[in-house]
Amino acid sequence: MTSPFLSVYGHVTVDQIISIDEFLPPGITADAVTKKTTLGGTGPNIAVAASRLGCPTALCAFVGPDFPGKYMELMEDSGLIMDEVTVLDDQETSTCVIINDRDLVTRVFFYQGPQGHAEETGIRLTSMARESERVHFCTGQPSYYISIMEELAGGPSMALDPAQEVHKVWNADLVRRAIPMADSLFCNDLEAKTLEGYLGVDDVLDAGPGLVVRTMGGDGSIARIGGETLSIPIVRAKKAVDVTGAGDNYRAGFYAALHHGYAVPEALVIASSVASFAVEAVGALNNVPTWDAAVERAEPYMGDIC
């Protein structure tokens, strides 16, 4: 079996996306106009995309027996290393219900599932991470991830990426415990402000790890690499249809580029290229490019790093 270059920790979620005409008062049933069920969660979004880009990737995550077999097959068919995708018989898989009305007002209901209380399982998902060069910690129970980071100290390069959960699941104490063990930190603009508050810094780029990456949507991204701060250009998409999963694809592209031998600044441009493909279709995993296509789109922007 191929050893993973990358191991990813994050929710594996079944997304249910429902559209209705309008939200009605409590007690009155609103009919669904459309309903679509898809594979979601930061774990498979990052891991599947990285694997499709040619980066040997393991997913370290919990699901319940209700997890659809077709999604398990999708992950397996992507080449993902599945040794630590663990089915727990007494649990139900993380679920996200997204309801949009005709004006695109959205209400989201999220069930954490076992990834949100992983410590209670008593199962340590560490064998893949120990074999990896890179380990990426995204959404899930912070205390569980911190304990795994402690076990892996001195081994693989570790990235902290609490994503949207930084606002509600993480807190200042947890972030301050994790940051010293992280070699890199990923966030977007909104998450950066919460992290700055937790850490008492004016700029998240001064958070501490050797690599800090802050994505800024249409304005590209900025990174501190050691003592140098670089602006990473946005790679333009042919069209923008749906930004869902763009950040996860960005991370996947970054790790794939490192695996293929690129230095960090150039890898971040390729990350932006992969994200540009993601926004051209609805769904996080519906337009992952080939590796060659990602590099071809990125190349004209390599000289724009500053």
Helices (H), 215-286: 246-259, 264-278
State how far the Cα of 195 lies from the Cα of 127, in Å rounded to an integer. 30
CB 113 within 8 A of CB 11: yes
Tell me the pairing of strands 228-232 and 221-225: antiparallel
Name the packing angle between helices 42-52 and 69-77 (round to 10°). 30
Q: Of 126, 185, 124, 176, which Cα lies nearest the Cα of 156? A: 126
CB 30 within 8 A of CB 39: no
Give me the DSSP letters along 72-87. Answer: HHHHHHTT-B-TTEEE
Annotated catalytic sites, by residue?
248
Strand order in the sheet with 94-100: 32-40, 13-20, 94-100, 106-111
CA dihedral over 244, 77, 295, 256, signed as positive or negative: positive
Residues whose CB is less than 8 angstroms from the CB of residue 234 and which lie 6 or more positions away in sequence, other chains included? 218, 219, 220, 221, 272, 276
